[in-house]
Amino acid sequence: MQYVTSIVPVPADLLRRQATHVETIPARPGRPVDWPSWVPSALRAALRSGGVERPWAHQAAAADLAHDGTHVVLATGTASGKSLGYLLPALTRLLVDERATVIYLSPTKALAADQLRAVNSLDLPGVRAAAYDGDTTREEREWVRDHARFIFTNPDMIHHAMLPGHGRWTRVLRRLAYVVVDECHAYRGVFGSHVAHVLRRLRRLAARYGAEPTFVLASATSGDPAGSASRLTGLPIEAVTEDASPRGALTFALREPPMLEDTETRKSALSETADLLTDAVINGTRTLAFVRSRKAAEIVASMASRALDEAVPGLGERVAAYRGGYLREDRRRIERALLAGELLGLASTNALELGVDLVGLDAVLICGYPGTRASLWQQAGRAGRAGGDALAVLIARDDPLDMYIVHHPSSVFGRPVEATVLDPANPYVLGPQLCCAAAEAALTPRDLELFGPGAEAAVEGLTASGALRRRPTGWYWTRPGTPDVDLRGTGGAPVSVVESATGRLLGTVDAASSHAMLHEGAVHLHQGASYVVDVLDLDDATALVHAADPDYSTHARDVIDLSVVSVRSYVDAGPVGLFLGDVDVTSQVVSYQRRRIGSGEVIDTRPLDLPPRELRTVAVWFTISPRELARAGLAWADVPGALHAAEHAAIGLLPLMATCDRWDIGGLSTAGHQDTDAPTVFVYDGHPGGAGFAERAYATATAWLGATREAIAACACETGCPSCVQSPKCGNGNNPLHKPGAVAVLDAVLAALPQPVPSQAVPSQSQAGEPDLGRRPGQAAECGP
């Protein structure tokens, strides 16, 4: 919808302090067109009463294609009104066909709730819109199945509830006219690969009931939106990309926090963000601060609230945190307060990045590069959503990628955003999804075409293992119940955080993060309050905590072991080898540090007894001969630290090339790995079967490693710091590290590799015999990521 609000002037000091670059993006007028002739008069009148006099050209273009039955993706900028592009055909069909149904899919509950509010505000007869998500009660779910016609849900509910119980959803599936996939660029990596198969399963069952719905997708501007949408849906997709909406001017500042006085330590990005949020709220500037983690959201909101109360007693109540893991009533209360203007400042994870119409925001603070240019522009676009001028500020963390970006503005401004990376052929995704499909209805040879070229081999393997059984009518699921498949690859059910004294459920943490965030003794933050974990029960997926206010924070440490399974392809560059292949990774959280708040001083390190986790995934790695390292001037004693530093920086810079962030990937470096017998640096996908990130790193190796080398060399520190070669997730405590050696290693690698790396590398002979993994004499010295 389109709104008009007054915009509070942004304090100029937000721009001046520590800005390394200020980009001004000029305002742009809109290009409206007439309503499509097929839009019913009742729908036009309802939209006009909501402030939409005429659609923008891109809205009408996408709506026309969808109305004609063409699968379409609308990929335009933030706040360009993409929702009208799918609402026009969807609501028209519901109005002219009283039996038709529409399914709307969103990656977040907040976005789905926002879109449901927008549809209900139109007050159209017979539409019967309703939410169907994890917060929907049993009684409401029954009503949705029996009566709702416009269903606002998410891929998890389709996967866990609608498709397994499709017999109860016959009414919806038989008359399914449209499937809307909102913010489809969010479906990337392993999650996106799973969602791709959920959509194929939905198409398959709808066809069995006689329906062939039209897919309408909405996306942020992205590289190759039609190709990405086609991989996601398995359908031919037409893209509408020319944005005809008006836009206010955006001032976008890049800034690095200052150095602390009389120290070589830089002020933390969290502290700088909290200070800027405090200044903004005092000036009456409605501001949203995006941070990278749930814990960071709590910290920034708490710091800003305390500072505001010191400046103006009571003003701290107008700042809050927003993140996943909150209970439903807490999320809705915060959303209402923000929309009503009761809150002036909000510290949020990316839960509010997507689509939610945040009326009247003046400024956005982005604490740390969010991992992709698509997310960066999506977050920046939250400000000025009423068409007024706005401010966005990227505050660099002590991180190689962040520092590279704030000193190389051309890396984000004037460059296209990344193409979405997903791999539906990932066997760790395809196999479980085929089991889900077979449990819903017998798989036929014709069905296998829907799931892609790897489906036939996957079904043969599942049959051999006993998971499926072949019958004349197809392949059947052989086991009781339905397959237990986690779309997000988080490793199991979320862990409930429960207050020991009261039994009160505080929230949840995903299983993959629980070892590091909820281990015994961990400090856990929830809505500004601190708790300490007493017990982590992995069998019951429960963490018991007690309220406390310690003067320290906790940081988990882990150890990693990696072995090469096979080589997919490689480049032989003389003393340097570049490889892409499959690896087994074993990781274990073994201890945690307690660090004093403020100074970061390490108080102590305490051991933990948690089980190891195993992962088969895809990695890219390079080897370099000891002789070449010596020729580069490296003493052998410095090799482990040089490789370790290069590994850290390479992980930090990979998001420039792929749609990931450093927490999606891991690494290991060693002066003599057991499978290569050579100095080696590995970078691997942190998801079973890989998520496409390692493949992207391999394909862009010279550009990726070149940017890594430049980021290290450009940093003003002498021995290495968080801005270049230190890693916040290093299991070895950032030791050893040798910054000059890392530059020497990368110089040698880049000098040897072809420019660019050939797109068709020599295939490995791993099927015919033992592959050459770059074996050369070397001394083993493992380093963690």
What does each C-alpha distance from 84 to 66, 132, 662 come to in angstroms?
12, 21, 35
Whether 2 and 11 have beta carbons less than 8 Å apart is answered as no
pLDDT of residue 14: 56
**Cis omega (within 30 of 0) for bond into 754:** no
**CB atoms closer than 10 angstroms to residue 409:** 16
**CA pseudo-torsion sign 63, 68, 74, 76:** negative
pLDDT of residue 392: 94
**Residue 312, class by beta-carbon neighbours within 10 Å (0-12 exposed, 13-18 middle, 19+ buried)?**
exposed
In 686-727, DSSP assigns E strands to none
Angle between helices 400-407 and 701-714 (to 10 degrees): 80
CA distance 527 to 120: 31
pLDDT of residue 776: 36
Task: Say which residues have a Cβ less than 8 Å from residue 769's Cβ, sequence separation at least 6.
Answer: none
Start-to-end Cα distance in the chain: 46
pLDDT of residue 494: 81
Helix (H, G, I), strand (E, B) or coil at 476: strand
If you write DSSP's letter for every residue of 343-409 in order, what string do you get? -SEEEE-GGGTSS---TT--EEEEES--SSHHHHHHHHTTTTTTSS-EEEEEEPPSSHHHHHHHH-G
Which tokens hold the place of 322?
């927003």
CA distance 53 to 74: 20
pLDDT of residue 1: 29
**CA pseudo-torsion sign 723, 729, 735, 737:** negative
Which tokens hold the place of 299?
């910290």
Helical spans, DSSP H, in 408-495: 427-440, 445-450, 455-465
pLDDT of residue 697: 92
Q: Give pLDDT < 50 ranges for the chain.
A: 1-10, 759-785
Q: Which of 192, 145, 165 is nearest to 439 (CA)?
A: 165
- The angle at the Cα of 76, spanning 72 to 77, to the nearest 5 degrees, equals 155
pLDDT of residue 337: 86
CA distance 164 to 131: 19
What does each C-alpha distance from 183 to 180, 186, 221, 298 come to in angstroms?
10, 6, 10, 26
CA distance 374 to 82: 16
Task: Say which residues have a Cβ less than 8 Å from residue 694's Cβ, sequence separation at least 6.
Answer: 580, 617, 618, 619, 620, 665, 683, 684, 685
pLDDT of residue 492: 67
CA distance 295 to 298: 5
Query: Tell me: the pLDDT tens digits for 238-251?
Result: 999 999 999 889 99
Which tokens hold the place of 691?
């998520």
Query: Tell me: the pLDDT tens digits for 185-212?
Result: 888 878 899 999 999 999 999 999 999 9
Whether 100 and 279 have beta carbons less than 8 Å apart is answered as no
Angle between helices 109-121 and 328-340 (to 10 degrees): 60
Q: Report which DSSP code applies to 285.
A: -
Helix (H, G, I), strand (E, B) or coil at 204: helix
